[in-house]
Structure 1
Amino acid sequence: MSRPDSRPGRGAPDNRTPNRFNLAGREADGDWLDARDAHDGATHLRTTVAVERPRTIIARNSSPDIGFDRSINPYRGCEHGCIYCFARPTHAFHDLSPGLDFESKLFAKPEAAALLRTELGKRSYRVAPIAIGTNTDPYQPIEGKWRIMRSIVEVLAETRHPLMITTKSDRVVRDIDLLGPMAEQELVGVALSVTSLTSRISRTLEPRAPSPRKRLAAVEALVAAGIPTSVAIAPVVPGITDYELEHIVEAAAEAGARNVFYLPVRLPYEVAPLFRAWLDEHFPDRADKVMNIIRSLRGGRDNDPNFFTRMQGFGPWADLLATRFQIAVKKHGLNMGRNRLRTDLFRPPSGPQMQLL
């Protein structure tokens, strides 16, 4: 049964999700908003964007199972609305729901490029690849207007700084004029996330992300421009998308991708109840089966936060996915070598006086 407070074109079924910061979810209490939805049906939810002004822009991490130690998030929240997004809980820090608020009440950081220039110019700065898109998507729809990601790439291209991009948007193709020359200097790699090739599943799983067809076309365009490009099958949702694993590997190879990798779905904190509500909404016939498989991957829990196992899971289902993936990769000749990014070409940004000369 469809939920009365669900919104057309959005990923989260509702805003009524518990969280760690005592934010009260809105329950139906008979007020005029509930009456309006009852008579008129659920209304479309408009996206709003607020300006965020952080003091620094490079975020650091020391996780031993992640291949980078620094990242940049041009935006907070993501309009793509992917129901499985593990970044959803971060919205609770702003007293906003990881549900519908995460995908409709967004934050942009227009001073990101200036902050980056300052941080790269410090004498203490040591070069290592910067990852962008590992939290929220830098090429989500609002990037078309704000162009914050574009300004960041401009700074990194100018300073010859290595960059790793992860996105599920074909909007990345817009920046080929910057990424192409960076690729010639071995400074950039791009990963396009393709979760499903089935439109019906994509429309509910990632309601405002570009279609899989557009993402694969973006892979072809990036490869044609000489940019090392991978496909991320992330996440694999057991019982929903796992049957497509081999098909996506094949599609990635046909698009010219060099490498491909996969990650089983993760359901940390507030994501788990949202995901269960999504299953009840869209796949009620198999909701229990899907959750049981996920728990078998996660040691009997909705989520396994432990390093290393959180990325691949463990047990029979994890072993089966790994075996299927390895066979498909070998069949299509992928993952023959890793993309190494150079760090020896970096040159600190020039100061304002030098820019005038």
Structure 2
Amino acid sequence: MILRAFDPWKSELCTCPAKLSLNPYTGCPHGCLYCYASSYIPRFHSCRPKVDLLRRLDREAAKVVPGLFIAISNSSDPYPPIEKELGLTRGCLRILKERNFRVQIVTKSDLVTRDIDLLAAMKAAVAVTVTTLDDSLSLRLEPGAPSPKRRLFALNELSRAGIPLSARIDPIIPGINDCGIEDLVYSLHSAGVRHITSSTYKARPDSIKKITAAFPEEGAALKALFSRGGRYSGSSYLPADLRRSILEDVASHAHQTGITFSTCREGFAFEEGISCDGSHLLPL
């Protein structure tokens, strides 16, 4: 199946609305140290296209129950560098536009601006993940991803085209990227973002190992914090009081700018009637 019901590990903490997930590629070249998908997708950092993707999508899309929207993508970024040549994500958008699907793009790549013509002509919204404004820190955390400056540029371009925008400050890792949140929120607001989804870092064995190798002191401190937290759906959580404090700070800055705010798999909500993933921005 190319189109799958979104059901992340059957987590009791997931509050996502019903939706379908579409990943044009398997694996992702961004190399994010905190990535959860690398814990269960083999050779995750080796990006490869789905076989016979467009034909299969066209066939499956014809059978989808009306009403569900499609998220592209929930594990592998839909705009890896090879998308420039292969155009699979663009091909997916063409098919979904023809069938009048509502589509939410989730990406770290400024390549999404190439598809502004399609996105502006369909029922679409875009969520861009920006974890820091510090290009040098981003290069250490997300070595294969476009820089924060390029992502902010993409948000500005998408905003000028009238495409509804959300941003993901996700994850926030204590001691690593939890500083500068106020400036980040205001930069996102200036770029046209209307909603922010944020979460704290949930550790899995492979990701905490990579973070500790890159940030030895911070990694050791994180391990001590995780020893006081809990485990949900295979991930280690920070203590609840720390998570709430971090996210309350983000929420406060978001609300000061008029941006709506939600959390992802945290177990507490900050606003009623707001989707956790920003999909409430999708045109009807």
Measured against the shorter chain, the TM-score band is 0.7 to 0.9
Aligned to 1:211: 147
In the alignment, the residues of structure 2 paired with residue 311 and residue 230 of structure 1 have an alpha-carbon distance, to the nearest angstrom, of 26
Aligned to 1:112: 53
Report the CA distance shift for 1:126/1:210 in structure 2 as closer, same or farther (over 3 A). same
The CA deviation string for residues 169-192 of structure 1, in whole angstroms up to 9 with x for no partner, is: 00000000100111xxxx111000
Q: What is the TM-score when the length of structure 2 is the normalising length?
A: 0.85
Question: Between Structure 1 and Structure 2, whose CA radius of gyration is higher?
Answer: 1
Aligned to 2:34: 84
AA aligned opposite 1:149: T
SS at match of 1:276: helix
In the alignment, the residues of structure 2 paired with residue 197 and residue 66 of structure 1 have an alpha-carbon distance, to the nearest angstrom, of 27
CA RMSD of aligned residues (A): 2.2
2:44 paired with 1:102: yes
Aligned to 1:61: 6
Aligned to 1:332: 257
Using the aligned pairs only, state the percent identity: 31
Q: What is the TM-score when the length of structure 1 is the normalising length?
A: 0.68
AA aligned opposite 1:288: A
Q: CA deviation at 1:150?
A: 0.6
The CA deviation string for residues 106-164 of structure 1, in whole angstroms up to 9 with x for no partner, is: 32115222211111223x63331011121110001111121110100001111111001
Aligned to 1:189: 125
Aligned to 1:276: 209
Residue in structure 2 matching 1:288, options 215, 220, 224: 220
AA aligned opposite 1:273: D
2:248 paired with 1:316: no
AA aligned opposite 1:321: I
2:91 paired with 1:151: yes
Contact kept in structure 1, 2:202 and 2:237, CA below 8 Å: no
In the alignment, the residues of structure 2 paired with residue 232 and residue 129 of structure 1 have an alpha-carbon distance, to the nearest angstrom, of 19
Aligned to 1:178: 118
Aligned to 2:65: 125
In the alignment, the residues of structure 1 paired with residue 148 and residue 253 of structure 2 have an alpha-carbon distance, to the nearest angstrom, of 19
Residue in structure 2 matching 1:267, options 182, 203, 206: 203
Contact kept in structure 1, 2:34 and 2:203, CA below 8 Å: yes
Contact kept in structure 2, 1:236 and 1:242, CA below 8 Å: yes
SS at match of 2:232: coil
Q: CA deviation at 1:224?
A: 0.5
Q: CA deviation at 1:278?
A: 3.3
2:160 paired with 1:224: yes
Unmatched segments (≥5 aa) in structure 1: 1-55, 93-100, 343-357
AA aligned opposite 2:72: I
The CA deviation string for residues 22-59 of structure 1, in whole angstroms up to 9 with x for no partner, is: xxxxxxxxxxxxxxxxxxxxxxxxxxxxxxxxxx2101
AA aligned opposite 2:58: R
The CA deviation string for residues 241-279 of structure 1, in whole angstroms up to 9 with x for no partner, is: 0113222111101111111121111223xxx23432432
Q: Is the strand fraction higher in 1 or 2? A: 2
Unmatched segments (≥5 aa) in structure 2: 262-273, 275-279
Q: Which of 313-322 and 77-86 deviates more?
A: 313-322
AA aligned opposite 2:32: C
AA aligned opposite 2:108: K
In the alignment, the residues of structure 2 paired with residue 226 and residue 233 of structure 1 have an alpha-carbon distance, to the nearest angstrom, of 22
